[in-house]
Structure 1
């Protein structure tokens, strides 16, 4: 077996976007891979035969979302293959082109083009589609202009590139740039007539959820000044051309909604007990009333962290009058089934993460990370899981992959779950350096699945240890609730965990331990270096250093900070400052590397710059590496060369101080 290398992730295959045909005989999914030389990702549509269990490549695509089945044999997907149209888009026009391809062979052909940036699409009837597309209140639609009028419009677009006008919050969004007065707006598109009819208004942000029998469900937020956390649920009727509000605003934060049998079921939280991180329950609409159908005190969706995914997929489905959904419990995510009587049944095993799935008569087919394997497609039938694909089998067969060892302990009477990766070719008679890795969120979890950066460090001769302190997902609302406590009980959990690791593994040299983490983990790394000198070095990624500045500069700051720190700069600035790592930066002596992306509007560059400046000012060795053209997702979906450079920076920093 060979040691896993830093650049080996360039050979991984990342699976996403699994969708079964209406008759459930075939599945379409996307295989993504890194192209290091071109510094981008390549995406191909593959077909899986549910009967023979064979799979094959079908065609390429360049926009990972917007893949749907037109019928049992034809797939519709968005791509950009027309060079003339590429030039128009470069000049500022907005177009989305959809191609169709038969799964049994033949070339993809242009099916329709829509003069918008389409973000979601669902077929609602023959030749009719519900689409959610970007609408810019202050924008110019170049495609509708001709001749001199178009030339003037192009000149105006060029002139407007020099500045931004802001008149609402949030005014930007991580991964999207400036979003002021831009909305994901709902339209009805008629392929035959090419008519585009707006359904939502120009200031509504919508999420298109479900379509059935000529009706569509969508969640909407309507604002012109400040986006709130609650939203509304609407139903649109194609035949009456009317949209009706089913759930008014100011009641729930609605995650998604589905037609289930004759009912409408939606997942939502009233946020009345635990704030914005409160777990979602299931509700049903009966007549004009909303009724609680089932309580679910676990995290909705898959929050098991990994740096070995690219692309997404659907994590809730309707089949045979039941709602199937993904939820996180403890260290794994599961597929569960909600029946119309409110009962919930767990259908998959405690073995990693489910990233997306679909349901058929024979079982559930899903893309997941199982054990220490990379992503593959699996099918579960009567509780038995079978691996279908072998895209990443070579990695498993040829590389040293370290299996995490669980480590549990109690702190303040609360059980904390953690894991330890031993160094490759571990020899208990030797002494090793160690790295504490802290997850983001904080409402996410670390599990036992494959995590590239940790495996690399274990293969480089480090102990790597990580845990789920209070604030993490998967253990219910009370465990996840650390509002107003950031840097207190969570910090204590992490330090006690480090103590327990050193006690169980005396082979770790306690004078050669590093710490790292991203987002919330970056906050905690900044906090740690201001409160202890036990770590020889630190690598703080996409971090938070000052809750006051973050409040007014980031895309979620004005509501996330107010909720999670339980204060604002006006009602209790002292509390915000108390929880800010920058306050304690004058006490730091730990050499620290800062990793930040220029377009990270979730934990803005200014957060890293403040902490970096503070350490330099006080004579502490510090280095900041900023990545242009990247955002908060650098470690997970950044450009291949940037992901390599990021991990090289961190690994070299640890090498410098720990070996």
Structure 2
């Protein structure tokens, strides 16, 4: 009998990220992180892959920060022996000789870096969150002491001068903003690139080492969504403003003597509107292509630690990037002539991309396996033929190249999901398809009835797909059917399908209930009287909304949820701009009733379903006050409820929280559903 997948099976998983090839494309490095029970964290190692074999070259990284210096050397953020296991604000970068020459300390920077790149002349292009008090120390002779100034919070208070004043995963900002600077290793000096009062949102350097492009906005006290685009000349240090307007610039792709900009004006579909592409050449910005869909990965999974936004790769004068169509990643490319090509359908999620030995390789999730590296063979050149332009179904051959996650649960057997879909309308009148899946119990018997858990993704502009989910597989091995779908509001289709602004809890709610009905028809083993519902973030909102509007679910669990859009506008790190846009209450203050009408708290008196709240103490995206409010209302109303608060965790608890808390979260959820849905309940 195959072993069951358990909550602590997580400890045997490996998480891959930060794939990058050297300049000649003969080798690629990537980071492998594994959970460490004793340290209650993740141990990072750097691996090298030559296209056929992989090997570990560094066992302990302080963070996933590394960059290629040349074909045989890289700089990496190593854990110094005297500091192993501890935190340090100093960033020490070691030069590593991959041909066997060892390692040596190359750079010590007195600030914690967010990212760095090695430029063509050997200088480092660095980004870091810096406060005004940090700047003089950093940019005056590279001091040896720690340049992170004492924060007001160390004296028992914090001072805010702008919004947002905190950010999820970073905590209180203390007036720190992202700055770009150059570090000259020979001279030991740092030179600022971005102006002191400028907040950098995105940046990129061209491969020839001529210029750095960056975008963002002046620090006016209220962080804006529209951006200014700048070019910094690496030869003479000249700073040139290239664009100032209403575009929200999300990514910059240098391409020869030009740059491609992914941006949106948000005019038709608000903050969730897909990117358009613009060509920047000779200081002029002109429209290039309008894909009509999100140009990054949005496949949800609890088996990756980083976000689903892989770096783009330039090859033969084109930018290659993954994007989701339906519920799978596709490999696209874009040329400076505006031609957009769909080269390959990857039956899962492309999490990182590189060009290695004239072959595309990717970190991916597919075939109900956890992350591995795959070769994407058979990718036709741009404009090769109609098959490539229509998705390349006849061309690609995806080959698994690594087996880093093969040593998981002994005898593990993943349950295969059954795909279901139905047609629905969208605001533009087009017929679209809602996709969903049902995982049956791993050892279910024909003719028997089993409980089910409906789980709802966050976003809402994200997708579920047929990829491995630890949480879902555990529930299937624990005797549950698991139901999940992509209702309206999800990604994978067009902007009209994803647009539920001003109507949260309307079309999306109806799609979810319709999917449950469809699952019950297709799988008679589901006991309709024993179904639970759960979800996180937007999924937590929908869980709250569902139990406010129907009693068909036996139990519910709202994770990092939303109950009151009005208060969330003032407490979320993105609330002041995101909530008015999404609820249609723009501006918020004269239109509070519209946001309140979409708030589950307004309907709390209707709830009769036992409701568990799980929340992260340091969730600054959907702060705990959202759950406190609804929990209090239910207690005052005499309803069955419980609150579990996970200390020192962010909004990302289920994806990259500390291993002990991730395991405890899954056990807590399951115990709640067992108590209400199992036959003994």
TM-score, with length taken from structure 2: 0.91
Q: Deviations over 1:410-454 (max 9, x none)?
A: 244542111110111222300010111000000000000001101
Aligned counterpart in structure 2 of residue 401 of structure 1, from 391, 414, 432: 414
Distance 2:553 2:436 in 1: 19
* Residue number in structure 1 paired with 2:400: 387
Distance 1:202 1:649 in 2: 46
* Residue number in structure 1 paired with 2:393: none
My pick for the range that moved more, 157-166 or 3-12, is 157-166
Where do residues 245-324 of structure 1 align in structure 2 (5 Å cutoff)? 245-248=241-244, 250-311=245-306, 314-324=310-320
CA contact 1:252–1:270 (8 Å) conserved in 2: yes
State the secondary structure of the residue aligned to 1:571. Answer: helix
Aligned counterpart in structure 2 of residue 326 of structure 1, from 322, 325, 328: 322
Distance verdict in 2 for CA 1:397–1:236, change over 3 Å = same
Aligned counterpart in structure 1 of residue 553 of structure 2, from 528, 531, 535: 535
State the secondary structure of the residue aligned to 1:359. Answer: strand
My pick for the range that moved more, 306-315 or 321-330, is 306-315
CA contact 2:9–2:409 (8 Å) conserved in 1: no
* Residue number in structure 2 paired with 1:654: 673
Compute the displacement of 1:538 (Å). Answer: 0.5
Distance verdict in 2 for CA 1:463–1:569, change over 3 Å = same
Q: Deviations over 1:308-354 (max 9, x none)?
A: 01235743111111100111111012221112222222233240000
Distance 1:159 1:642 in 2: 27
State the secondary structure of the residue aligned to 1:426. Answer: coil
Distance 1:234 1:526 in 2: 44
Distance 1:108 1:399 in 2: 39
Aligned counterpart in structure 2 of residue 349 of structure 1, from 336, 345, 348: 345
* Residue number in structure 1 paired with 2:184: 190
My pick for the range that moved more, 448-457 or 65-74, is 65-74
Which runs of no fewer than 5 residues in structure 2 stay unpaired?
Answer: 379-395, 426-430
- The alignment status of 1:213 with 2:212, answered yes or no, reads no
My pick for the range that moved more, 366-375 or 105-114, is 105-114
Distance 1:430 1:84 in 2: 56
State the secondary structure of the residue aligned to 2:589. Answer: coil
* Residue number in structure 2 paired with 1:114: 109
Where do residues 57-76 of structure 1 align in structure 2 (5 Å cutoff)? 57-76=56-75
My pick for the range that moved more, 418-427 or 198-207, is 198-207
- The alignment status of 1:373 with 2:369, answered yes or no, reads yes
Aligned counterpart in structure 2 of residue 576 of structure 1, from 585, 595, 598: 595
Considering only aligned residues, what root-mean-square deviation do their CA atoms show, in Å?
Answer: 2.3
Q: How many matched pairs?
A: 648
Compute the displacement of 1:65 (Å). Answer: 3.6
- The alignment status of 1:131 with 2:130, answered yes or no, reads no
Distance 1:86 1:141 in 2: 30
- The alignment status of 1:359 with 2:355, answered yes or no, reads yes
CA contact 1:301–1:315 (8 Å) conserved in 2: no
Compute the displacement of 1:231 (Å). Answer: 1.2
Distance verdict in 2 for CA 1:363–1:593, change over 3 Å = same
* Residue number in structure 2 paired with 1:239: 235
Compute the displacement of 1:209 (Å). Answer: 1.8
CA contact 1:315–1:355 (8 Å) conserved in 2: no
Distance 2:36 2:266 in 1: 43
CA contact 2:279–2:336 (8 Å) conserved in 1: no
State the secondary structure of the residue aligned to 1:510. Answer: strand
My pick for the range that moved more, 498-507 or 202-211, is 202-211
Distance 1:108 1:619 in 2: 64
CA contact 1:437–1:516 (8 Å) conserved in 2: yes
State the secondary structure of the residue aligned to 2:236. Answer: coil
Distance verdict in 2 for CA 1:232–1:467, change over 3 Å = same
My pick for the range that moved more, 313-322 or 234-243, is 313-322
CA contact 1:210–1:257 (8 Å) conserved in 2: no
* Residue number in structure 2 paired with 1:181: 175
CA contact 2:41–2:659 (8 Å) conserved in 1: yes
Compute the displacement of 1:256 (Å). Answer: 1.1
Distance 1:86 1:611 in 2: 39
Distance 2:221 2:122 in 1: 37
* Residue number in structure 1 paired with 2:12: 11
